[in-house]
């Protein structure tokens, strides 16, 4: 009987930041691949890669809490700020797909790198 290829992932203990890092790496790889597909004029491959990257960011957005309790409106909590950053990335992916603009995908990758540096900043 063949081993289940997902067994190692399912049994592994991963923190939320580990899972985010996996999604980050995959998303950046997909966006970079989509940039190449745009440059090589391969719309089917471009569309699939951007669809997958969009799904990753949508998943992150859906995982955010709906409302973070009471907080000062002048200093929003982490979830509202992440929601804004994720919406920016989603808009750049959609715009890059609709108009074939690699600049938009570069901006999405740059925002992802910025979030990565924030999540891994040393206190």
Residue 9 domain-assigned (yes or no): no
Does position 74 have pLDDT exceeding 80, yes or no? no
Q: Are 97 and 47 in contact (CB under 8 A)?
A: yes
- How far is the C-alpha of 89 from the C-alpha of 112, rounded, in Å? 8
Domain span at residue 94? Answer: 15-66+76-119
Q: Is 80 buried (19+), middle (13-18) or exposed (0-12) by CB count in 10 A?
A: middle
Domain count, the chain: 1
- How far is the C-alpha of 89 from the C-alpha of 85, rounded, in Å? 6
Does position 4 have pLDDT exceeding 70, yes or no? no
Does position 5 have pLDDT exceeding 60, yes or no? no
- How far is the C-alpha of 95 from the C-alpha of 4, rounded, in Å? 39
103-114: average pLDDT = 97
Residue 32 domain-assigned (yes or no): yes
Residue 33 domain-assigned (yes or no): yes
Q: What's residue 77's pLDDT?
A: 80
Average pLDDT, the chain: 86
Residue 8 domain-assigned (yes or no): no
Q: What's residue 15's pLDDT?
A: 83
Residue 108 domain-assigned (yes or no): yes
Does position 33 have pLDDT exceeding 90, yes or no? yes
Residue 25 domain-assigned (yes or no): yes
Residue 1 domain-assigned (yes or no): no
Residue 41 domain-assigned (yes or no): yes
CATH code at position 44: 1.20.120.340
pTM for this prediction: 0.81
Q: What's residue 96's pLDDT?
A: 95
């Amino acid at each position: 009987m063949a081993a289940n290829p997902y067994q190692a992932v399912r049994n592994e203990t991963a923190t939320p930041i580990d899972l985010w890092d996996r999604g980050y790496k995959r998303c950046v790889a997909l966006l970079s691949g989509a940039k190449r597909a745009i440059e090589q004029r391969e719309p089917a491959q471009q569309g699939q890669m951007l669809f997958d990257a969009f799904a990753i960011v949508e998943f992150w957005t859906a995982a955010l809490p709906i409302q973070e309790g009471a907080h000062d409106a002048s200093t929003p909590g982490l979830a509202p700020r992440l929601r804004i950053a994720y919406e920016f990335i989603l808009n750049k992916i959609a715009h890059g797909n609709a108009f074939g603009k690699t600049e938009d995908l570069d901006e999405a990758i740059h925002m992802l790198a910025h979030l990565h540096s924030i999540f891994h900043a040393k206190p």
